[in-house]
C-alpha cells in the first residue's frame, strides 16, 4: 500500500471530507506514515476491512470458510522474560515517581506460533473493527477512537480489563483503586484532547463494562463516553481534527509528549502501525478505532503486540501477568 507523510495525509483527508467522498484511512503510531484511499479504489486483494459494518468483504467471501478455520486452532506464545519486562517497567515507574508522567502505556512484542495465517485470523476473529493488510498485519480491535456524526464528536477510551471467570469479577474491576485511577486519568486526558477541537465537551457515560469473547474465555473491559460539538466547517478540516487528537491517549498516557519519550526509552521494539488508528468516512459521518489486538508478520514469523497502563500503584509482577493474559484472539 502507498504511504503518505503527515502533511500529505492531512491534505488528502481535508479534501476528501470537503467533497464528501468516502475514504479509508490507516495511520501509524508515530503519525509519519499513513494510508488514505477512496473506498472505490481500495484493492481487496491487498486490504480487507470490516469497520463497524463498513466493509469491502463481499457476502460470498464472508460465507467462505478457509480450510484452516475448520481445523482446531493451534496458538502458542513466547512472552519476554520477567527480567526483561522488569527493565522496561522500572524505566516507566522511575519517570512516574519523578513526576514526568501520571500514566504510561507500556507495550511488548511477543513471538507467537499458530496454524492460522493473518488472513485466517482476520476472517475468523470477532471484533467491532477489523483490518487485514496483506503480508503485514491484521487487527481485531474493540476500541473506538472517535466517531463524528452530524457535527458531534465522541470518544470512548478503554482502560481496565479483567478475566470474567474470577469471583466477584465486576465488583473487583470497579473497586480496584489502580484501575479506577488509570481510567480517570485517561478520561481527563481525552476530555482535554476533545476540547482542542470541539466545544461543550462532557463525559456522558463513565466506567461502563462490556464483555468480550476470546479464545481464552470472556473478559470484562471498562470504557467511558466523552462528547463535544465541532465547528460548522469541520468536514473541510477532518484531517486536522484527526491529527490534533493523535496519538490516542489510551495507548500513550499523560502528559502525551513526555510520556511518548518515556515509551521510546522503555520499549524494546518499534510499534509501527500498532496503536495507530484506522477509520472510515462514508461521505457524511466518520467512525474509527485504535489499532490494538494486533498481529504482525515479519518474514515467516508472527508477533502479537500488547500492553497496559502503568501508574504509581502498579506492581511489576501483576502487570507482567496481565500483559501475558492479553495475548489472545477473539475467534469463533
pLDDT tens per residue, range 249-288: 989 998 999 999 999 999 999 999 999 999 999 999 999 9
Has residue 117 got a pLDDT over 80? Answer: yes
In whole angstroms, how far apart are CA 29 and each of 39, 79, 80, 177, 263? 23, 22, 22, 29, 12
Residue 27 parent element (H or E): strand 23-27
Percent of the chain at pLDDT exceeding 90: 70
> What's the whole-number mean pLDDT along residues 111-122?
95
Taking phi over 0 as left and psi of -120 to 50 as alpha, with beta for the rest, 253 belongs to left
Q: Each residue of 124-154: pLDDT tens digit?
A: 998 999 999 999 999 999 889 999 999 999 9
Mean per-residue pLDDT of the chain: 88
Report the pLDDT value the prediction gives residue 171, as an integer from 0 to 100.
Answer: 61
Query: What is the per-residue pLDDT across 185-239, written as a single tens digit (0 to 9) for each?
Result: 888 899 999 999 999 999 988 877 765 555 455 556 678 889 999 999 999 999 9
Per-residue pLDDT at 82 exceeds 90: yes
Q: Compute the average pLDDT of residues 92-120.
A: 96
The angle, 0 to 180 degrees and rounded to 10, between the axes of the packed helices 82-97 and 256-266 is: 150
pLDDT of residue 114 exceeding 60: yes
How many helices (H) and strands (E) the chain has is answered by 10, 18
pTM: 0.88
* Length of the chain as a residue count: 332
Is the confidence at residue 91, as pLDDT, over 60? yes
CB contact at 8 A, 283 and 274: no
- Show the cell assigned to 8: 500529505
User: Per-residue confidence at 167, pLDDT binned at 50, 70, 90?
Assistant: very low
Q: What percent of the chain has pLDDT over 70?
A: 86
- For residues 81 and 64, the model is more confident at 81
Instruction: Note the pLDDT of residue 41.
Output: 97
Amino acid at each position: 500500500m502507498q504511504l503518505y507523510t503527515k502533511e500529505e495525509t492531512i491534505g488528502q483527508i481535508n479534501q476528501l471530507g470537503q467533497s464528501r467522498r468516502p475514504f479509508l484511512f490507516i495511520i501509524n503510531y508515530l503519525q509519519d506514515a499513513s494510508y488514505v484511499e477512496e473506498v472505490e479504489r481500495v484493492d481487496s486483494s491487498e486490504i480487507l476491512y470490516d469497520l463497524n459494518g463498513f466493509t469491502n468483504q463481499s457476502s460470498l467471501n464472508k460465507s467462505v470458510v478457509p480450510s484452516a478455520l475448520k481445523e482446531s486452532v493451534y496458538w502458542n506464545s513466547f512472552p519476554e522474560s520477567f527480567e526483561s519486562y522488569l527493565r522496561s517497567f522500572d524505566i516507566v515507574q522511575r519517570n512516574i515517581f519523578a513526576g514526568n508522567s501520571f500514566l504510561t502505556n507500556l507495550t511488548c512484542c511477543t513471538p507467537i506460533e499458530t496454524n492460522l495465517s493473518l488472513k485466517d485470523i482476520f476472517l475468523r476473529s470477532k471484533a467491532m473493527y477489523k483490518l487485514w493488510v496483506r503480508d503485514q498485519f491484521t487487527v481485531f480491535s474493540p476500541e473506538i477512537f472517535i466517531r463524528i456524526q452530524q457535527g458531534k464528536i465522541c470518544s470512548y477510551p478503554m482502560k481496565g480489563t479483567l478475566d470474567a471467570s474470577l469471583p466477584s469479577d465486576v465488583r473487583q474491576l470497579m473497586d480496584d483503586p489502580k484501575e479506577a485511577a488509570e481510567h480517570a486519568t485517561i478520561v481527563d486526558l481525552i476530555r482535554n484532547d476533545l476540547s482542542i477541537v470541539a466545544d461543550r465537551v462532557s463525559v456522558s457515560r463513565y466506567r461502563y463494562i462490556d464483555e468480550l469473547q476470546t479464545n481464552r474465555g470472556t473478559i470484562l473491559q471498562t470504557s467511558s463516553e466523552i462528547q463535544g460539538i465541532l465547528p460548522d466547517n469541520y468536514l473541510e478540516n477532518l484531517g486536522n481534527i484527526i491529527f490534533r487528537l493523535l496519538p490516542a491517549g489510551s495507548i500513550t498516557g499523560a502528559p502525551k509528549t513526555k510520556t511518548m519519550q518515556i515509551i521510546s526509552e522503555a520499549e524494546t521494539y518499534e510499534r509501527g502501525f500498532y496503536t495507530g488508528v484506522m477509520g472510515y468516512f462514508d461521505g457524511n459521518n466518520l467512525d474509527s478505532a485504535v489499532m490494538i489486538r494486533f498481529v504482525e508478520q515479519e518474514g515467516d514469523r508472527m508477533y502479537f503486540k500488547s500492553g497496559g497502563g502503568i501508574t504509581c500503584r502498579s506492581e511489576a509482577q501483576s502487570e507482567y501477568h496481565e500483559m501475558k493474559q492479553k495475548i489472545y484472539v477473539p475467534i469463533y
